[in-house]
Structure 1
Amino acid sequence: MSFDRDVDLHTLAGLRRRVEALTADRATRHRDDLVTGVLRAAVEAVDGADGASLTRTDPNADAPDRATDDEIAALDAVQISVGQGPCIEAADHPPECGLVVAADLGGADHDRWPDFAEHAVAAGCRSVLSLRLGVEERHRSSLNLYGRRHHAFDATAQVAALLFGVPAALLLHGADHADDLQHALGSRDLIGQAKGILVERFGVHGDHAFAMLVESSQNANMKLVDVARWLVEETVANRSHEAPTTS
């Protein structure tokens, strides 16, 4: 493909400003706010986009899908439900460039994903760009841009989406791993509290207390952290009931 140099420079300058704004905004330190900012910036950066979404196709993903409005969220949900659509293809089986283009869901692209296309056209959506972001199993995802017009995304818009996807993927990758780290730290604290309760209750050493938690986890077919959480919550509740009341 060939592009006019001035158009490319203008597009790059706009993308740079939006990425700088995302990284400078302190609100984006929180993952949910970051995703909202990324979606908003994507709509502003790519001509033809009327809305956007971030879709995760792994049913065990910790983070939920997000969209700029309820109609787009519903179209994402349809794709997940019927197991077809550009967001599914981009996340799970993307082309080499990572970008899936649906130029006209009411026309030539209808037969690629017929079940989804019917819902999309009925909702007033004719074009979709879907770009793979996360590649790890638990963070597998796509950034999706929705357009009301058919052929809403020309070649320049497609390049803009690809360029925007690079910093967006890096930002979301960092946010996902920060969440994973925070979750791991929280789990460690819970397990530590549960070990302390068992040490106090049964007079055992820390290693023995941990072994008791592991055995309970296996017997109950529960995650270790869930067993620890249950024990801590039960102990706190019992202590609150046993606390003397003052008159």
Structure 2
Amino acid sequence: MIDPAHKQLVKSLRSAAEQLTENRSIRDLETTVSKLVHAAVDTVPGAVGGGISRTEQGTVRSSHATDDVIYELDQLQSELGEGPCITAADDPPAAGVVLAQDLARADGDRWPRFAPRCVATGFRSIMSVQLSLHGRRRSALNLYSHEAGVYDGSAELTAGLFAVQAATLLHGADHAADLGQAVASRDVIGQAKGILMERFTVDDDEAFQMLVDASQDTNVKLVEVARFLTAEARDRRIGSGPRRPDQRDR
């Protein structure tokens, strides 16, 4: 006979997988990650709250937290530079799971500044599962519990399965965001080339080379040069405004 908890796990993971294939925007992906975190909290025995910690260039931020207290605890770890979430994201054990069974006792010695402040908010144990190892962004799924010693091997396995789904979703969101930025950069460069082609009667290649030369001469990224040029052209149009019929060339 199938364990009801396992049935709920399969149902939650299937739902997340279905939403992943249906998503069409970054906002959809982010919403799905949030739902996945809530599903993990509902499914893992003992968990009462959760969130995701993400590190990039030494900065840690909390996302998709189930409530404000969890968000603040994740952020606190970032401010202190210590805690299960940071260890799981940046320096996890081989299994990728950092388990703090009782922050009020022995586990508190591992994170002496964070542990007492976490316990003061009513949380005794945290399980953090690493979501990614590669790339500039690293992250971990964090599950908080009021009880000490609540997480066993089954809980670790369940959290690990949710972590796989969350990692896939976050990768999709990051990829979509990077692609969106690339498309936006291409569009603004195209607009800038059009302005130069009209203003100086040059062709596409010559306009692009003008942008490249300006970028190299000023040590400013090409896309930023393009943004400056398009903004300048827009301001010029706004400043001049449409001419009245009696102002037009005769």
Query: For the superposition of Structure 1 and Structure 2, which TM-score range results when normalised by the shorter chain?
Result: 0.7 to 0.9
Residue 55 of structure 1: aligned partner:
53
On the 8 A contact 1:22/1:28 being kept in 2, the answer is: no
**Aligned CA distance change for structure 1 residues 232 and 135 (closer, same or farther; 3 Å):** farther
Which of 16, 19, 32 is residue 13 of structure 2 equivalent to? 19
On the 8 A contact 1:104/1:127 being kept in 2, the answer is: yes
Task: Work out the CA distance in 2 between the residues paired with 1:210 and 1:230.
Answer: 15
**Aligned CA distance change for structure 1 residues 39 and 224 (closer, same or farther; 3 Å):** farther
* Superposed counterparts of 1:67-216, under 5 Å: 67-216=65-214
Letter paired with 2:157: V
| Shift in Å, 1:112 | 0.4
| Shift in Å, 1:246 | 7.1
| Shift in Å, 1:11 | 4.0
Any gaps of 5 or more consecutive residues in structure 2? 246-250
Per-residue deviation, residues 93-139 of structure 1 (Å, max 9, x unmatched)? 11111111011111111010111112211222211111111223333
**Aligned CA distance change for structure 1 residues 33 and 234 (closer, same or farther; 3 Å):** farther
Letter paired with 1:96: A
| Shift in Å, 1:36 | 1.3
Per-residue deviation, residues 141-190 of structure 1 (Å, max 9, x unmatched)? 11111112222322221111012212222222222212222221121112
Task: Work out the CA distance in 2 between the residues paired with 1:129 and 1:104.
Answer: 11
3-state SS in 2 of match to 1:144: strand
3-state SS in 1 of match to 2:127: strand
On the 8 A contact 2:62/2:75 being kept in 1, the answer is: no
Task: Work out the CA distance in 2 between the residues paired with 1:38 and 1:216.
Answer: 47
On the 8 A contact 1:28/1:34 being kept in 2, the answer is: no
**Aligned CA distance change for structure 1 residues 188 and 72 (closer, same or farther; 3 Å):** same
On the 8 A contact 1:43/1:50 being kept in 2, the answer is: yes
Residue 223 of structure 1: aligned partner:
221
| Shift in Å, 1:214 | 3.1
Any gaps of 5 or more consecutive residues in structure 1? none
Q: Between Structure 1 and Structure 2, how many residues are aligned?
A: 240
- % of aligned pairs identical? 45
Task: Work out the CA distance in 2 between the residues paired with 1:73 and 1:202.
Answer: 54
- Structure 1 length as normaliser, TM-score? 0.85
On the 8 A contact 1:102/1:128 being kept in 2, the answer is: yes
* Superposed counterparts of 1:23-38, under 5 Å: 23-25=17-19, 29=25, 30-38=28-36
Letter paired with 2:127: L
**Aligned CA distance change for structure 1 residues 158 and 246 (closer, same or farther; 3 Å):** farther
| Shift in Å, 1:32 | 2.2
**Larger gyration radius, structure 1 or structure 2:** 2
Q: CA RMSD in A?
A: 2.6
On the 8 A contact 1:60/1:138 being kept in 2, the answer is: no
3-state SS in 1 of match to 2:156: helix
Task: Work out the CA distance in 2 between the residues paired with 1:95 and 1:18.
Answer: 27
Task: Work out the CA distance in 2 between the residues paired with 1:34 and 1:28.
Answer: 11
- Structure 2 length as normaliser, TM-score? 0.84
